[in-house]
Chains A and B, each alone.
Chain A
């Protein structure tokens, strides 16, 4: 058994929170620059320029890319041969609080969703998967709520055709319109159960945009992703919703087996400030 100390995990989580919030993911920055080069609409181009400039300022000035530093969603892959010296979930939450304080990030979490009250730094949303080996992989995805609020789930019947599913996905983007900070990255989860489809849609945001990693997906899914991206970018929502062909940077679909009686589809939108950071211990 390999032993990893709680303090080590706390410090790594803390660093990941700061990195994710200060330094825009390179794949997102590249995608924004590519969109800037291609965008023909003058105002859209100007806004994309401001978004790119914002990322550069955030990194240089050690400031949060966006004031909504999100509800931290943590994805853990814990090797079976790892023993944590301490309680994993409380350690992660300590790391979140430490990182958010050190990084001057926003305390956006309220303990009681109905009574509301004073906001604090934790708890985070923590997903733990058991994997083989003796490594511990931790990913921090600070999810802003402007875009999280636009999440949609639909339980389709199993005989539903792909066109109807595509219509639902494009419809979700259309209804988010300008409100959730386009250009978006669109996460789609298909299959599993209602809750699992939502998780898949969220996890789809972790995949690198325009990366060769996406070749692990079947050609059929890749084709649908491409078609959806074209349809979404034809909506003319554009950056800030003021028009242009850059409404989404990418569409990522993740699938999972499901029940003979169902076909759950979830859409989780990310704003252009798609932030995440990963470490392997």
Chain B
């Protein structure tokens, strides 16, 4: 088990290998389909992004509504491949980590290698379990998107498995 911090540092990313079990503590950001579309449109138009993505980790997740007295609702990963078309440009802009479920395209794998990033898997379909690792959740951008807004999550020992490492190796290959 490797214990790491988010945002990610270069020397941490370099040590991660496919299949490694990792616990991450720190700040990550939810982002899924519509948020990706907007971020990439902004990058292409040369506009400033609503959050600084350099060194950051995106979690492909659209949580349920937060019940009263809770920090967040159910918050498991969504299918990563739907983000594939947007990912290389975000990696080029400095994004360093992604958390999701399932396979990635060859273009994403190549970009992960080129920009020295990492793709993590987490327990798919286990949103109630994963909610327990989130200590704070704050919407920070695209609030009009509802469950697809970007949330800043403070997580503690959030469980991950390295799916694609910075050498471009995939656990599914």
Chain A residues packing against B (C-beta within 8 Å): 47, 50-51, 53-55, 57-58, 61-69, 101, 104-108, 116, 118-119, 146, 149, 177-181, 240-242, 271-273
Contact = CB atoms under 8 A, between A and B. Distances in A.
A51 B147 contact: no
A68 B78 contact: yes
A63 B72 CA distance: 10
Interface residues of B, number: 37
B66 A104 contact: yes
Looking at chain A's contact residues, is the secondary structure mostly helix, strand, loop, or mixed? Answer: loop
Interface in B25-84: 34, 61-67, 70, 73-76, 78-79, 81
Interface of B: 34, 61-67, 70, 73-76, 78-79, 81, 101-103, 121, 123-129, 131-132, 144-148, 161, 171-172
Contacts of A57: 128-129, 132
Looking at chain B's contact residues, is the secondary structure mostly helix, strand, loop, or mixed? Answer: loop
Contacts of A104: 64-67, 73
Given A63-B74, A240-B101, A50 B126 contact: yes
Contact of B129 (A50, A177, A240, A241): A50
B102 A177 contact: yes
18 contacts: A53-B129, A54-B125, A58-B127, A61-B128, A63-B73, A64-B64, A64-B127, A67-B64, A67-B73, A67-B147, A69-B74, A104-B64, A104-B66, A149-B79, A178-B172, A179-B81, A180-B102, A241-B103
A178 B102 contact: yes
A63 B67 contact: yes
A17 B34 CA distance: 26
Nearest to B146: A119
B79 A179 contact: yes
B126 A54 contact: yes
Given A50-B129, A57-B132, A67-B73, A240 B64 contact: no
A51 B126 contact: yes
B81 to A, nearest CB: 6
A91 to B, nearest CB: 23
A62 B74 CA distance: 10
A247 to B, nearest CB: 14
Nearest to A179: B102
Contacts of B65: 101, 104-107
A240 B128 contact: no
